[in-house]
Structure 1
Amino acid sequence: MADKRFFPSLGLLVTAIAVVIAWAVSQTGRWPLEWLRMQQFDSSGSEHPGPEIYMFSEDPVVVYVKDFISAQEAAHLVQLADGRFTPSPMWDNDGKPHIDKAYRHSMTAKLDRTDVIIKGIEKRAISFPFYKHFGDFMPIVVQNYGISGQYRDHYDWFDDVHAVGGNIASTFFVYIHANCTGGGTNFPRLTPPDDERWCEFIDCDRPFDEGVTFKPILGNAIYWENLHEDESGHKLTLHAGMPVTTGNKMGMNMWTWKVA
């Protein structure tokens, strides 16, 4: 597979991008739907469109990334996970796992972070201008949801950071297989946008009082920050993997661990 990297001068654009965004917010009071289209180069040096970044929320920070990974990368991740799945655990606030299939019904596989494709994806993730270097990525995992598979409302952060030695500061959730109906990622405490362009990514047919449900779309990702500045958990990040009604969904989690 061709090695892909972002435009080498991307870092020089961050300041200019921040100025443009600040101006847009001051004029409209809202974040622009399309924040930045990044460009990629393949191994031959040819330029082609890269991920599109959309700022959904400022507090908590929630960013949607279209085309975060390619279909070829997604297929590679699915292949890596094959044969490694075990029942997905629940995690207590003291960091102890247990199985509760009534609440979380899925399978989980840990991936080898030495894999060259995973290394490239991690490098791509930390190159985004919105990403904050709170710490290192935890072991990469894939969640496999078959029919009726779901994960009810939960947080990614822990209450007792001293018991676990830190906390999950931010989350990337990437759809690597989305041959399904249902299976959206619901944030019940986020306010749905009034811009219809978001309906490409969000299930706009769901009732307003159910919050925001992102559709499972192959290659796309949701990024959010789990903690306030004082490092307490942000309760608006409550989210759920909605039940899969037909087919199969797989998502890859990239969690950033911040040491206490």
Structure 2
Amino acid sequence: MIFHTFVTKTSSPSKLPECGQPFAMASNPVSQKERGPSSKIPSLFSLLLLPLLSVCYVQWGRFSPVQDAIKSFYTAHLQPLTASPRSATQTLAAQYAAACPDHRPKTHIFSTDPLIIYVQDYLSRNEIDYLLDLAVPYYQKSPVSKGFNLEAYDAEIRSSMSAVLPADPVVQCIEQRSVDFQGFMPRSRLEDIQVVKYAVADHFRPHFDWFSGMANPRVSTFFVYLACDGGERPAHDDGNDSEMRQCEGGATQFPHYEGFFARSWCKFIDCEDDSGAGGVAFKPIVGNALFWANLYPNGTGHPGVWHAGMPVKKGRKVGLNIFTRRDTWVPE
């Protein structure tokens, strides 16, 4: 700043064209008549002083306390302004590429026949945000399976949008978590995981995740809740889900369930369910998951896991489907 001020006030464009031009906009032009004959002396003085100022500036900048102050100011004030908007996403991916985090969700066995396990905090908040962002360009109309036709569409049965996710480091760590949960089976038995988005009135009527005659049946299912809010997330989300932003409806219903459960389960289950579907309805609580086994040990399908995604009445629900096959999965 010292160098800039001195040059702009004393340099003569006619004598120093190579230096005068860059500062033309900041200078206050003075005519030769106003300067008088003595104006050459400051110009000559400038030429002699410039090298000395440059050396002093460089040496001053090498002084460690000055360097530390400059670095601290940049880190605190300037770096956040120049950071890429996707830097948080890129950072998370790099961390998961180095090593999957040690993530320990809390499990509750709801039923052993059929096997239904409720899992708290299956995904972290950072993982949820990452998956929601990752899914955006991949959404397509959700298909239904009718026999061996896996690309049928029927809005009366299922209305939602689905996104099959690419297997990047974060997705792979979540996949590994899912197979480890089931006894350290190979990750090759998982289908590509899918994010499913339900808007108002969207639903999935009661169905099985298997059908008779599947050559490589789905032995188990995870359904993880990624969002239950009033719509798309705001640009500046503070992470606090207020009552105004909670979705309504969208429970995961098991109409054929006939067992009993303790009153304490009502924090996870809609104990005031008035849908008329019967059975039990699990609330869409963000970060938590349902896991269930689709088959009996002998390989036949279990009728107790007949389930539905109940209609969303307000806002949106977003979930994550993780299906495990009996053998190595090959896309049909």
Do these two structures clear the TM 0.5 threshold for a shared fold by scoring above it? yes
1:77 is paired with a residue whose SS is: helix
Amino acid in the other structure paired with 1:158:
F
Matched residues in 1 for 2:184 and 2:305: separation?
Answer: 17
* 1:137-156 equivalence runs, <5 A: 137-156=190-209
2:138 is paired with a residue whose SS is: coil
For the 8 Å contact 2:189–2:327, the answer to whether it is kept is no
Q: Deviations over 1:61-96 (max 9, x none)?
A: 110000000111111101111021111111012243
Unaligned runs of 5+ in 1: 7-39, 41-49
* 2:115 corresponds to which of 41, 58, 61: 61
Amino acid in the other structure paired with 1:184:
A
How far does residue 127 in structure 1 lie from its aligned partner after superposition? Answer: 2.4
1:56 is paired with a residue whose SS is: strand
How far does residue 231 in structure 1 lie from its aligned partner after superposition? Answer: 0.8
Higher relative contact order (CA 8 A, sep 6+): 1
Partner of 1:176: 226
1:119 aligns with 2:187: no
How far does residue 178 in structure 1 lie from its aligned partner after superposition? Answer: 1.4
Amino acid in the other structure paired with 2:309:
G
Amino acid in the other structure paired with 1:176:
L
Matched residues in 2 for 1:57 and 1:131: separation?
Answer: 18
1:105 aligns with 2:159: yes
2:258 is paired with a residue whose SS is: coil
For the 8 Å contact 1:125–1:131, the answer to whether it is kept is no
How far does residue 225 in structure 1 lie from its aligned partner after superposition? Answer: 0.6
2:220 is paired with a residue whose SS is: strand
1:220 aligns with 2:316: no
Amino acid in the other structure paired with 2:170:
I
For the 8 Å contact 1:65–1:221, the answer to whether it is kept is yes
For the 8 Å contact 1:187–1:211, the answer to whether it is kept is yes
Unaligned runs of 5+ in 2: 1-91, 230-246
1:57 is paired with a residue whose SS is: strand
Partner of 1:251: 319
2:137 is paired with a residue whose SS is: coil
Partner of 1:133: 185
For the 8 Å contact 1:147–1:247, the answer to whether it is kept is yes
Matched residues in 1 for 2:313 and 2:123: separation?
Answer: 25
* 2:105 corresponds to which of 25, 29, 51: 51
1:138 is paired with a residue whose SS is: coil
Amino acid in the other structure paired with 1:204:
C
Amino acid in the other structure paired with 1:242:
M
For the 8 Å contact 2:143–2:150, the answer to whether it is kept is no
1:200 aligns with 2:252: no
1:230 aligns with 2:298: yes
How far does residue 259 in structure 1 lie from its aligned partner after superposition? Answer: 3.4
Higher helix share: 2
Q: CA RMSD in A?
A: 2.0
For the 8 Å contact 2:250–2:312, the answer to whether it is kept is yes
Matched residues in 2 for 1:76 and 1:92: separation?
Answer: 32
For the 8 Å contact 1:173–1:251, the answer to whether it is kept is yes
Higher Cα Rg, which structure = 2
Higher strand share: 1
* 2:127 corresponds to which of 46, 49, 73: 73
Matched residues in 2 for 1:131 and 1:95: separation?
Answer: 31
For the 8 Å contact 1:5–1:124, the answer to whether it is kept is no
